Amino acid sequence: MFIPATTSLKSLSEKLFGFRIFENFKTRILIALNIKKERTI
């Protein structure tokens, strides 16, 4: 079911291996997958 998403995450993680700060890594994944981050109060 989720094979395309898993594949794209694996390829992204290979490209983003050098990120030192996890927040930057997470933000880049959200941008690449076109996911909007919702803020909670």
Domain membership of residue 41 (yes or no) is no
Domain membership of residue 39 (yes or no) is no
Task: Write out the residue range of the structural domain in which residue 16 sits.
Answer: 3-32
Domain membership of residue 10 (yes or no) is yes
* Burial classification of residue 36, based on how many CB atoms lie within 10 Å of its CB (0-12 exposed, 13-18 middle, 19 or more buried): exposed
Domain membership of residue 37 (yes or no) is no
Domain membership of residue 40 (yes or no) is no
Contact (Cβ atoms closer than 8 angstroms) between residue 27 and residue 10: no
Domain membership of residue 12 (yes or no) is yes
Domain membership of residue 14 (yes or no) is yes
Give the three-state DSSP class for 34.
coil
pLDDT digits (tens, 9 = 90+) for 1-41: 456 767 777 777 777 677 778 787 788 777 877 766 666 55
**Whole-structure pTM value:** 0.45
Q: How many domains does the chain have?
A: 1
At 38 the pLDDT is: 65
